[in-house]
């Protein structure tokens, strides 16, 4: 079949035929646990980590997952193998796996809900979308704060589909900076510390130490784990600490780490208007870590984005 496939309701279907009923909890309530992995040379990267996080988050959110790890892995690999054959030369995939509690019976006048929904889809890795991360650096704008406590009902470590906070934050960031490519970053309280962005975990270099916000206050990012491992392997100090807005002047470099692009350098942040805080870009820590990422995956990451078709 020369068309992309998706996996939904226990079978492979053409991507264009995949659909959830309008009374599925994932649509009605946004009750969706999700995970997003990418390929290198058409093989899923750090798949066991993504799968373990997905299973943990389903359990945390009381979303039934009625498939074994072996079944989920076989399904993901089959889907990737088929859809990768349809890519242009040099193309890669991102795979999204999602689970919901399933249809809500109340919308049909039925007494019971379910069965639970499980789906997988892929899409071509959007190299062009991330190219400017490597050619221009990332622009961030402080767009407000959100409650991000480990004591919250929904832990900030969980990866889920509800994106309304980030939709509003990114809209505000782009409006304030008049930069259509700006990304939002949020604080843990109105006068508090940086947490993360809409697309990636945030890292700052403070006194020569690559520093992440405390892990219990941010998404449990797989790429963040990899970046921390690379710091350890090449001798770069790494720490977790609150990164107060008041201390932004002590941050010499800043980076984002996320599944699609692996690692990107931040060029500027607008913690206030109209004057941004300028970071060293591309900074020496970023260069060392990007090279280590490239060595790890066997691909020149920067070149893969800068040389991709526009």
Enumerate residues 6+ apart whose C-beta is below 8 A from 110. none
Q: Is the pLDDT of residue 134 over 90?
A: yes
What is the radius of gyration, based on Cα positions, of the chain? 20
C-alpha to C-alpha distance for 211 and 207, rounded to whole angstroms: 10
Q: Note the pLDDT tens digit of each residue in 31-70.
A: 999 999 999 999 999 999 999 999 999 999 999 999 999 9
Residues pairing with 52 in the sheet: none
The structure's pTM equals 0.94
Q: pLDDT band at 2, cuts 50/70/90?
A: confident
Question: Domain 130-306 carries which CATH code?
Answer: 3.20.10.10
Residue boundaries of the structural domains of the chain? 5-125, 130-306
Same fold, 5-125 and 130-306: no
Fold exhibited by the domain 5-125: D-amino Acid Aminotransferase; Chain A, domain 1 (3.30.470)
**Residue 110 pLDDT grade (very low, low, confident, very high; cuts 50, 70, 90):** confident
pLDDT value of position 124: 97
Instruction: Evaluate if residue 148 carries a pLDDT over 70.
Output: no
């Amino acid at each position: 079949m020369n068309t992309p496939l998706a996996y939904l309701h226990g079978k492979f279907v053409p991507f264009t035929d995949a659909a959830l009923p309008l009374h599925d909890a994932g649509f009605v309530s946004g009750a969706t646990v999700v995970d997003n992995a990418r390929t290198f040379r058409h093989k899923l990267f750090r798949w066991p980590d993504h799968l373990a996080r997905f299973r943990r988050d389903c359990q945390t959110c009381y979303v039934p997952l009625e498939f074994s790890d072996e079944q989920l892995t076989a399904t993901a690999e089959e889907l990737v193998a088929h859809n990768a054959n349809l890519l242009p030369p040099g193309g890669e995939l991102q795979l999204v796996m999602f689970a919901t509690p399933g249809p809500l019976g109340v919308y049909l006048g039925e007494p019971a809900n379910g069965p639970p929904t499980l789906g997988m889809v892929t899409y071509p890795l959007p190299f062009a979308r991330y190219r400017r991360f490597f050619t221009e650096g990332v622009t961030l704008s402080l767009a407000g704060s959100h409650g991000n406590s480990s004591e919250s009902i929904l832990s900030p470590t969980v990866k889920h589909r509800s994106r309304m906070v980030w939709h509003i934050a990114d809209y505000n960031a782009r409006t304030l900076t008049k930069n259509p490519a700006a990304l939002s970053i949020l604080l843990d309280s109105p006068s508090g510390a940086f947490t993360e962005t809409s697309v990636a975990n945030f890292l700052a270099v403070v006194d020569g130490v690559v520093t992440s916000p405390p892990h219990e206050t941010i998404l449990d990012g797989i790429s963040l784990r990899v970046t921390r491992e690379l710091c350890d392997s090449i001798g770069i100090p790494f720490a977790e600490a609150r990164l107060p807005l008041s201390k932004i002047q002590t941050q010499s470099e800043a980076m984002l780490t996320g599944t699609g692009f692996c690692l990107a350098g931040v060029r500027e942040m607008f913690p206030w208007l109209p004057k941004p805080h300028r970071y060293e870009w591309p900074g020496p820590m970023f260069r060392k870590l990007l090279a280590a990422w490239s060595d790890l995956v066997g691909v020149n990451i920067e070149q893969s984005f800068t040389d991709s078709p526009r």
